[in-house]
């Protein structure tokens, strides 16, 4: 019984170590870069112009869309659209 418990704890510990955040880097209008990092199934952090923005995943007919009150970041394949501060940017996966 002790061996089974010890093995189970080892497997759980190792599986926790393999959890990785999924990050993708985009070049937006060939000027600035945007890095989107999935925090979990429902949220992500966007780093744009050296500022982090916490975003929530939204329902999307196609691709993956994250928003907050000020930012929309929508990815599909190797492309993305960023709307921030009233400006719209076309982004490509780096």
What's 57's domain CATH number?
2.40.128.200
Higher per-residue pLDDT: 14 or 52: 52
Task: Answer whether residue 66 is part of any domain.
Answer: yes
Number of domains composing the chain:
1
Report the DSSP beta bridge partners of residue 74. Answer: 65, 81
Q: Look at residue 16 and tell me whether its pLDDT is greater than 50.
A: no
pLDDT tens string 56-90: 999 999 999 999 999 999 999 999 999 999 999 99
Which residue range forms the structural domain that includes residue 62? Answer: 21-93
**pTM confidence score:** 0.76
Interior CA angle at 30 toward 28 and 33, to 5°?
45
Task: Answer whether residue 8 is part of any domain.
Answer: no
Higher per-residue pLDDT: 6 or 80: 80
Beta strands in 1-94 (DSSP E): 22-28, 32-38, 43-48, 51-58, 64-67, 71-76, 79-84, 87-93
> Residue 1: pLDDT band by 50, 70, 90 thresholds?
low
Task: Answer whether residue 14 is part of any domain.
Answer: no
Is residue 7 packed enough to be buried (19+ CB in 10 Å), middle (13-18) or exposed (0-12)?
exposed
Task: Answer whether residue 10 is part of any domain.
Answer: no
Q: How far apart are CA 49 and CA 35, in angstroms?
A: 10
């Amino acid at each position: 019984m002790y061996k089974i418990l010890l093995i189970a704890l080892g497997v759980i510990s190792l599986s926790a170590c393999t959890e990785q955040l999924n990050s993708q880097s985009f070049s937006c209008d060939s000027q600035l870069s945007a890095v989107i990092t999935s925090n979990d199934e429902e949220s992500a952090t966007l780093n744009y112009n050296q500022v982090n923005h916490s975003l929530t995943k939204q329902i999307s007919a196609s691709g993956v869309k994250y928003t907050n009150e000020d930012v929309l970041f929508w990815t599909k394949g190797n492309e993305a659209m960023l709307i921030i501060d009233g400006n719209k940017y076309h982004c490509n996966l780096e």
